[in-house]
Amino acid sequence: MAGAVSALFLLDIKGRVLVWRDYRGDVSALQAERFFTKLLDKEVFKHYFEELEEESLRDNFVVVYELLDEMMDFGYPQYTEAKILSEFIKTDAYRMEVSQRPPMAVTNAVSWRSEGIRYKKNEVFLDVVESVNILVNSNGQIVRSDVVGALKMRTYLRGGKQEAKDTWWWNDKVQRAIKEKKECFKRLHLDKSATNIEGYKIAKRAAKRAVSVAKGQAYDNLYQRLGTKEGEKDIYRMARIRERKTRDINQIKCIKDGVDRLLTLCEKNSGDRDRGSFEEDEECGMPECKLGLNDRVLLEAQGRATKGKAIDLDDIKFHQCVRLARFENDRTISFIPPDGSFDLMTYRLSTQVKPLIWVEAQIEKHSRSRIELMVKARSQFKERSTATNVEIEVPVPLDATNPNIRTSMGSASYAPERDAMVWKVKSFPGGKEYMCRAEFSLPSITAEEAVPEKKAPIRVKFEIPYFTVSGIQVRYLKIIEKSGYQALPWVRYITMAGEYELRLI
């Protein structure tokens, strides 16, 4: 079976088996080592145990087994979202109620979102975060440079599949009362005057009274009918309906796609298929988001000009909520978002990147007892941008003491636990250059033939808001929901330093 997992092994640092789960009975413990490199995603275990250590696994082995049973079914991955699992698996397993109903997401095609989510204000926050990785050698040449980006989202959207209202017993009087209540609510929403408030309260009480009376009469008539000979057919009919609703999905004999074409077994089991036709009924009432980027492939396919505005993305990885087939067809990122924070997409750019903050350092030693450092930092981005929380870490000798530091901007201090001088600049505008001078005493005496100590690189940290190195742009972010409520999308761009090292001293 393609894609099936036979067993799962959790090992300690020495490779010994701590916890293992045999799903199919065809894998021995000797084959556990091949799974070692694949167990990198620890999000679920960290959600339950805070720190994933050997002791936490041993102390919570009952919860570990419950999680493994829910995340895998006969070797097939099922639910890996920590938020969904935490709804029906608690950390204190012995306190879990046996009759607790699993969330709708477990039996739904959209396993990453619960039902019945409510917010007073519907908002979507999208952060385009890029990390710049640069390595510069002692000659000032760039040895390695790349950009790793991520689209981080926080969604607070109302929506989700809910149980349909039981309205079969509504009569004309109930419909008129509910319609009147809705009209009063609309007037109250526009004008919160005392008259409208009192009118809405009266309409609401009248609607409740009409619903209660009509429901009681309808059930009385139903019970009287079920007691007759004709009512026996209704009993069997209701039993059949209830049985159909409780059937497992394995009872489905065939599945068709959006163009009414019968899918084969391979197409049903394909992990990269477009789930749109399967989710059409399940997604009722769930918000859908559509995201457009300045992707070169998409813009060229649409016949738009791509001069200086389009980018090429490499190593794209999506969250499981994204419809991959739709992206492959028209490069549209369409998805039903999970509730809360998640990484929608990650990407990488391997193009040559100019260092955003360039650092030069000169060291002068005086009679082996004193050392003087002169550090220059220059921002190499446009003046309209400003780097914040800039931190430059310059290594100093291990035995350096009595620091005397002066800076033209910001503050600098000696960090003996890091064997470095740390220069911090809160705001660093583009096209500026600042300087830092420092003197240290060297009490230790070394021989002339002593092996020179290894020098650590200069490390730089920074953040540049409203700026991206790659030039990626969000062309649009649409929120589509069946009821048509208003949602506010917010987009923010941030560039920060990743592994930013300069080996200049």
pLDDT reported for residue 242: 63
pLDDT class of 21 with cuts at 50, 70, 90:
confident
pLDDT reported for residue 94: 33
Give tens-digit pLDDT for 138-162: 888 899 899 999 999 999 988 754 4
Phi and psi (nearest 5°) for 315? 50, 50
pLDDT, mean of residues 316-344: 88
Domain boundary residue, one of 87, 102, 117 = 102
pLDDT reported for residue 59: 72
Per the structure, the count of domains in the chain is: 3
CATH number, position 22: 3.30.450.60
CA distance 146 to 148: 7
CA distance 330 to 177: 48
Contact status, residue 10 vs residue 17, Cβ threshold 8 Å: yes
pLDDT, mean of residues 318-340: 88
Segment (H or E) for 198: helix 194-226
Q: Quick one: 185 and 94 in the same domain?
A: no
Task: Give the 3-state secondary structure of residue 200.
Answer: helix
Q: How many CB atoms lie within 10 A of CB 246?
A: 6
Residue 365 domain-assigned (yes or no): yes
pLDDT reported for residue 446: 62
Contact status, residue 20 vs residue 36, Cβ threshold 8 Å: no
pLDDT reported for residue 266: 39
CA distance 241 to 458: 71
- The average confidence (pLDDT) of the chain is 76
Q: Quick one: 367 and 459 in the same domain?
A: yes
Phi and psi (nearest 5°) for 363? -120, 130
Domain boundary residue, one of 102, 133, 150 = 102
Q: Quick one: 96 and 188 in the same domain?
A: no
Contact status, residue 293 vs residue 345, Cβ threshold 8 Å: no
Domain boundary residue, one of 245, 268, 289 = 245
Q: Quick one: 360 and 448 in the same domain?
A: yes
Contact status, residue 79 vs residue 71, Cβ threshold 8 Å: yes
Spatial CA neighbour of 216 closest among 205, 208, 226: 208
Dihedral, CA of residue 245, residue 247, residue 253 and residue 255, to nearest 10: 50
> Which residues lie below 8 Å from residue 311, measured CB to CB, with a gap of 6+?
293, 294, 295, 296, 349, 470, 471, 472
Q: What is the DSSP string of 73-122?
A: ETTEE----HHHHTTT--SSGGGS-TTPPPPGGGSSS-TTS-SSB--SS-
Spatial CA neighbour of 110 closest among 332, 276, 273, 244: 276
CA distance 288 to 257: 20
Give tens-digit pLDDT for 37-88: 334 345 666 667 666 666 767 777 777 777 777 777 666 666 667 777 777 6
Q: How many CB atoms lie within 10 A of CB 111?
A: 20
Residue 95 domain-assigned (yes or no): yes
pLDDT reported for residue 7: 76
pLDDT class of 5 with cuts at 50, 70, 90:
confident
Residue 292 domain-assigned (yes or no): no
CA atoms within 13 A on the CB side of 325: 11
pLDDT, mean of residues 320-330: 86
Higher pLDDT, 378 or 22: 378
CA distance 394 to 460: 9
Q: Which of 242-256, 317-331, 447-461, 484-498 has the lowest mean pLDDT?
A: 242-256
Spatial CA neighbour of 206 closest among 186, 179, 177: 177
pLDDT reported for residue 282: 39
Domain hosting residue 218, numbered range: 172-245
Q: Is pLDDT of 416 > 60?
A: yes
**CA 111 from chain center: how many Å?**
15
Residue 401 domain-assigned (yes or no): yes
- Kindly tell me the sign of the dihedral angle through the C-alpha atoms of 202, 203, 204, 207: positive
Give tens-digit pLDDT for 419-478: 899 999 999 999 999 999 999 988 766 655 555 566 789 999 999 999 999 889 898 998
Share of the chain above pLDDT 90, in %: 27
Phi-psi region of 63 (alpha: psi -120 to 50; beta: other; left: phi over 0): alpha
- Token pair in block for residue 245: 């609703």
Residue 334 domain-assigned (yes or no): no
CATH number, position 393: 2.60.40.1170
Q: Quick one: 358 and 464 in the same domain?
A: yes
Task: Give the 3-state secondary structure of residue 29.
Answer: helix
Give residue 306's identity as a one-letter amino acid code: T
The H helix count followed by the E strand count for the chain is 10, 20
Residue 147 domain-assigned (yes or no): no
Q: Quick one: 185 and 83 in the same domain?
A: no
Please list the alpha-helical segments (H only) found in 227-356: 231-245, 265-269, 296-301, 324-330
pLDDT, mean of residues 202-210: 89
Task: Give the 3-state secondary structure of residue 168.
Answer: coil
Segment (H or E) for 68: helix 61-71
Q: Is pLDDT of 194 > 70?
A: yes
Highest mean predicted confidence (pLDDT) among 19-23, 124-128, 282-286, 470-474: 124-128
| Proportion of the chain in helix, strand, coil states, percent, rounded to 5 | 25, 35, 40
Contact status, residue 71 vs residue 77, Cβ threshold 8 Å: yes
Give tens-digit pLDDT for 161-189: 444 456 666 888 888 898 898 888 888 88
pLDDT class of 3 with cuts at 50, 70, 90:
low
Please list the alpha-helical segments (H only) found in 131-171: none
Q: Quick one: 97 and 176 in the same domain?
A: no
Give tens-digit pLDDT for 88-100: 676 553 333 333 4
- Token pair in block for residue 230: 């004709």
Task: Give the 3-state secondary structure of residue 158.
Answer: coil
Contact status, residue 332 vs residue 290, Cβ threshold 8 Å: yes
